[in-house]
């Protein structure tokens, strides 16, 4: 297993995303968590809106039933989205959201709290006050963001002394705009457009871990590219390399993301033990430079 330093924490490079955990019954959730822990996957990613809170509750019940010591796992959750209505980074909402997550997860603290998508009405002073209160109370140990560009992070940092340790961003071979804009500099191509403010380079400069969400999807939840005829060339390359390394194609995708020199993590989104373990196998593989570029090009990207 590869590990990634996220702030002061040394975490598995593969994070177990818990967005669909409410689809499992109690026994299924226990089996899923037990299998993850058995592979050393002890970093779990949550959000208060996943299943309208049910995913955190299912996890809390399963974790309690397994009797695993709290200090043997790392828990991350996100807040700030009022589903279908608005985003809310007010101090009151952040503090209440954390209390709700702690109650559902049946824990006294979060290892990491992420702000979930930018709030245009954010007052950084309010966020800073919330962070300070959560840190002093012991409810949250470190802080990060999700889907933010550099200047949004800089605005936040202008008021808080708490380091921003992670930015959760959509990233996969089929969703690699963060890479493409670096290659297609000064070109009139679609890939040359820096849609994210060059966040990948910013994170590298500031030691912020990039947590890749939807690592096996294309578009905005448009579908999975594995086995999809729309990505025939990519799947041919993934299949060939999977055979070479003795893993499933999902493992090669994980290896591709982790091969980038930024501090990266892969956030899985499955509740299938089989699929989770297939993805995790990639953390044991280091692709060659040639293989990494071949995957990139086979996903439809260009090298000028």
Q: For residue 282, give the nearest of 1, 39, 4, 58 by alpha carbon.
A: 1
Residues 6+ apart with CB under 8 A from 244: none
Distance CA 135, CA 142 (A): 8
pLDDT given for residue 219 in this prediction: 85
- Secondary structure (3-state) at 206: helix
Fold of 3-298: TIM Barrel (3.20.20)
Question: Which residue in this structure is represented by tokens 């979060």?
Answer: 110
Comparing CA positions, the residue from 63, 72, 70 lying closest to residue 41 is 72
Q: What is the spatial distance between Cα 138 and Cα 141, in angstroms, rounded to a whole number?
A: 7
Q: How many CA atoms lie within 13 A of 97 on its CB side?
A: 27
Distance, CA of 132 to CA of 155 (rounded, Å): 16
User: Which tokens hold the place of 124?
Assistant: 């950084």
Q: Give the angle subtended at the CA of 108 by the CAs of 54 and 114, to the nearest 5°.
A: 65
Dihedral in degrees, nearest 10, Cα atoms 271, 274, 276, 279 = -150
| Distance between CA atoms of residues 279 and 266, nearest Å | 9
How long, in residues, is the chain?
304
Among 169, 168, 190, 175, CA closest to 231: 175
The partner residues of 17 in beta bridges, in order of sequence, read 45
What single string gives the DSSP state of each residue in 42-95?
Answer: -EEE--TTGGGGHHHHHHHHHHHHHT--GGGSEEEEEE-EETTTEE---HHHHH
Residue 137: its H or E element: helix 124-137
pTM for this model (two decimals):
0.96
**pLDDT tens digits for the chain (304 residues)?**
899 999 999 999 999 999 999 999 999 999 999 999 999 999 999 999 999 999 999 999 999 999 999 999 999 999 999 999 999 999 999 999 999 999 999 999 999 999 999 999 999 999 999 999 999 999 999 999 999 999 999 999 999 999 999 999 999 999 999 999 999 999 999 999 999 999 999 999 999 999 999 999 998 878 999 999 999 999 999 999 999 999 999 999 999 999 999 999 999 999 999 999 999 999 999 999 999 999 999 999 999 9
Cα 178 from Cα 191, distance rounded (Å): 9
- The rounded Cα 158 to chain-centroid distance in angstroms is 24
SS3 of 261, please?
coil
> Domain residue spans in the chain?
3-298
């Amino acid at each position: 297993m590869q590990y990634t330093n996220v702030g002061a924490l040394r975490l598995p490079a593969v994070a177990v995303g818990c967005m669909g955990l409410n689809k499992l019954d109690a026994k299924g959730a226990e089996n899923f968590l037990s299998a993850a822990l058995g592979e050393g996957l002890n970093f779990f990613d949550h959000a208060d809106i996943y299943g309208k809170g049910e995913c955190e509750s299912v996890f809390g019940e399963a974790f309690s039933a397994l009797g695993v010591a709290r200090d043997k796992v790392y828990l991350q959750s996100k807040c700030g989205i009022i589903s279908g209505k608005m985003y809310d980074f007010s101090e009151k909402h952040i503090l209440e959201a954390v209390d709700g997550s702690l109650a559902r997860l049946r824990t006294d603290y979060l290892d990491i709290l992420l702000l979930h998508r930018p709030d245009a009405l954010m007052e950084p002073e309010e966020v800073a006050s919330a962070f300070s209160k959560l840190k002093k109370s012991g409810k949250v140990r470190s802080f990060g963001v999700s889907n933010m560009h550099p200047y949004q992070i800089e605005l936040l940092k202008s008021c808080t002394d708490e380091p921003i340790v992670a930015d959760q961003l959509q990233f996969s071979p089929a969703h690699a705009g963060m890479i493409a804009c670096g290659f297609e500099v000064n070109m009139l191509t679609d890939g040359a457009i820096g849609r994210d403010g060059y966040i990948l380079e910013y994170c590298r400069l500031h030691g912020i871990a990039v947590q890749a969400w939807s690592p096996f999807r294309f578009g905005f939840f448009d579908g999975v590219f594995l086995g999809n005829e729309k990505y025939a060339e990519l799947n041919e390359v993934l299949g060939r390399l999977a055979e070479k390394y003795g893993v499933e194609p999902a493992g090669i995708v994980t290896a591709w993301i982790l091969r980038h020199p930024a501090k990266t993590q892969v956030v899985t989104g499955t509740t299938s033990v089989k699929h989770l373990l297939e993805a995790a196998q990639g953390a044991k593989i280091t692709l060659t430079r040639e293989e990494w570029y071949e995957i990139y090009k086979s996903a439809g990207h260009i090298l000028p």
